[in-house]
């Protein structure tokens, strides 16, 4: 596993995808995914994060991140290809190791993986028996994937009920798998990840920057007390759009982002889940309030100058990498034009 011995003075930048898209077939549904990933590959971004989502317009065009990673393995040269995240209780460790070992071979060793325990009960129609014990299953599954990745054998019963000892084919090019753990809850999740020696990926959806700083501190304390080398890697997802002008950027994202928030309300099933039952005026007011809160406190939106302040704030809170969620409803061309300014922001701190 990659060992992080010190922190950079400015975070690295990656892309992350979680589009709101209808289930209906559409030509060009993945054009933005391809084009923006190619841009990131050519402009020294660190990675592309691909989620696993099921049964919902919000993120559901990515049911298996390994499938999309194959596309990028063939069309990019240097960018890291990261599952962000595999919902471990929905899968057998053998299938996870096999699929991503193929991607590692196709990409010449550019695979990293984040794992999650899962949070939406509907996803578990795939594996309903695993819902109640999903945390243990996740941690056991991660360890199994890591062993299989190294070439260790999997011991289990075959179809005849006989003991079988098997290795996955093909073996990956990388001897060790860089592992992230998805942390979106309380400090205990961060401490568990630190104690296990994982990197972490998190977001500001349900926490303030001040809370993030406290959780990251507890994560790094747990790593140190468990004897793991280095501070670990903290990746922070931020909804991102950088424009040439602050006021214009805000107006560009306002309505698309409010629609994005509205589309996700029933999925998260907290607070804003009441939106569908509200009168139109009340709903509009609530969405406007939510937009302002996100824009000011939990998103990377605005000009290069204003966004640089946010980058410094989250870096001071412990974030080593910003995973920029760019596909929240803006037009294709607008997003691609914004990528130029996002790259300028990426380079801003490097040249300071």
169: CATH: 3.20.20.30
Q: Is residue 270 part of a domain?
A: no
Q: Is residue 116 part of a domain?
A: yes
Q: Is residue 7 part of a domain?
A: no
Q: With b meaning 16 or more CB within 10 Å and e meaning fewer, what string describes 95-134?
A: ebbbbbbbbbbbbeebbbbbbbbbeeeebbeebeebeeeb
Q: Is residue 269 part of a domain?
A: no
**Helix 332-348 / helix 31-42 crossing angle, nearest 10 deg:** 20
Domain range for residue 93?
12-251+301-348
Compare 289 and 94 and report the one with higher pLDDT.
94
Q: Is residue 296 part of a domain?
A: no
Q: Could you tell me the two tokens for 279? A: 């009168």
Q: Is residue 145 part of a domain?
A: yes
Q: Is residue 287 part of a domain?
A: no
Q: Is residue 75 part of a domain?
A: yes
pLDDT of 58: 65
287 neighbors 262 (Cβ within 8 angstroms): yes
* pTM for this prediction: 0.92
pLDDT of 238: 97
Give the SS3 label for residue 273. helix
> H or E segment at 114?
strand 111-116
The model's pLDDT over 24-71, given as tens digits with 9 standing for 90+, comes to: 788 878 999 999 999 999 999 999 999 999 887 666 688 999 999 999
127 neighbors 115 (Cβ within 8 angstroms): no
* Average pLDDT, integer, range 59-84: 93
* Average pLDDT, integer, range 102-113: 98
pLDDT of 5: 52
Number of folded domains in the chain? Answer: 1
Give the SS3 label for residue 231. coil
pLDDT of 21: 72
């Amino acid at each position: 596993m990659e060992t992080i011995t010190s922190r950079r003075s400015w975070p690295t930048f990656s892309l992350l995808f979680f589009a709101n898209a209808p289930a209906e077939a559409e030509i060009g549904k993945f054009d933005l995914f391809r084009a923006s990933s190619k841009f990131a590959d050519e402009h020294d971004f660190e990675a592309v994060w691909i989620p696993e989502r099921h049964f919902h317009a919000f993120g559901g065009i990515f049911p298996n991140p390994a499938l999309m990673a194959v596309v990028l393995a063939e069309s990019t040269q240097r960018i890291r290809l990261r599952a962000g995240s595999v919902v471990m209780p929905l899968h057998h460790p053998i299938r996870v190791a096999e699929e991503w070992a193929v991607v590692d071979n196709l990409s010449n060793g550019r695979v990293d993986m984040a794992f999650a325990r899962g949070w939406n009960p509907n996803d578990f129609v795939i594996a309903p028996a695993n819902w109640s014990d999903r945390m243990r299953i996740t941690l056991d599954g991660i360890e199994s994937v890591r062993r299989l990745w190294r070439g260790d054998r999997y011991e289990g019963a075959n179809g005849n009920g006989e003991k079988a000892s098997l290795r996955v084919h093909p073996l990956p090019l990388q001897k060790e798998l860089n592992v992230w753990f998805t942390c979106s809850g309380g400090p205990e999740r961060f401490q568990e990840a630190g104690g296990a020696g994982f990197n972490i990926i998190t977001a500001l959806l349900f926490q303030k920057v001040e809370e993030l700083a406290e959780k990251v501190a507890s994560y790094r304390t747990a790593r140190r007390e468990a004897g793991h080398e280095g501070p670990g890697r903290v990746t922070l997802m931020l909804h991102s759009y950088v424009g040439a002008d602050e006021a214009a950027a805000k107006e560009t994202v306002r309505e698309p982002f409010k629609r994005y928030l509205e589309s996700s309300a029933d999925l998260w099933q907290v607070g804003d889940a009441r939106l569908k039952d509200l009168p139109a005026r009340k709903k509009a007011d609530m969405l406007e309030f939510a937009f302002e809160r996100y824009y000011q406190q939990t998103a990377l939106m605005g000009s290069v100058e204003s966004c640089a302040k946010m980058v410094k704030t989250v870096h001071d809170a412990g974030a080593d990498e910003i995973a920029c969620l760019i596909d929240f409803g803006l037009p294709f061309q607008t997003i691609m034009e914004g990528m130029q300014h996002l790259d300028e922001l990426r380079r801003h701190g490097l040249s300071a």
